[in-house]
Amino acid sequence: MKTTIVLADDHAIVRRGIKALLEYEPDFHVVAEASDGAAALLLIENHRPHILVTDLSMPNLSGIQLLKIIKEKKLPVRSVVLSTYGDTPYVLDSIEAGAYGYVLKEAGVEHLVTAIREAQSGRRYLSPPLSETIAVN
C-alpha cells in the first residue's frame, strides 16, 4: 500500500519540485496539492491522506494554524513541516501543534523522505542541525 501525501506550500514551483522528488519513492503517492492552509484542510478532509507535508508561511491559514485545527478535529493524518524557519520557537510550536517531523528546506530530500517514513510509523523526526539542538520527547 502506498503512503498518500498532501502537499501544502504557497509556491507552485516548490510544490512541483517536492512532488517530483517524492514520487521517485515507489511507495509514496502525492494525492493533492494546496497553495494555502484552508485549501489544505479541505483536501485532507476529502482525501484522508496518511501524511501532510506543509510549509509554515501560507495565506488563509498558516502551517501552525493548520496543524492546530488538524489536532482539534482529530483528523487521521500525520504532519511533517518543511520550512525555511529553523529557529527553536517555530520548531517547538510546530511539534506542540501536532507535527511529527520538521525538515528544513535547505536539507537534502533524504531528510524529508525519512521524516515522512518516521511520521508514518508514529515516530518524530527533526532534520539536522535541529536534532542536535532540540530534544524531542
Q: 28-67, pLDDT tens digit by residue?
A: 999 999 999 999 999 999 999 999 999 999 999 999 999 9
For 73-93, how does the pLDDT look when each residue is reduced to its tens digit (9 = 90+)? 999 999 999 999 988 899 999
For the whole model, what pTM was predicted? 0.94
State the CATH class of domain 3-133: alpha beta
Give the separation between CA 22 and CA 50, rounded to whole angstroms.
Answer: 14
- Where exactly are the structural domains of the chain? 3-133
Matching residue, cell 493548520: 66
Q: What are phi and psi of 25, to 5 degrees?
A: -80, 120
Alpha-carbon dihedral 74, 78, 84, 87, rounded to 10 degrees: 70
**Residue 99: what pLDDT?**
98
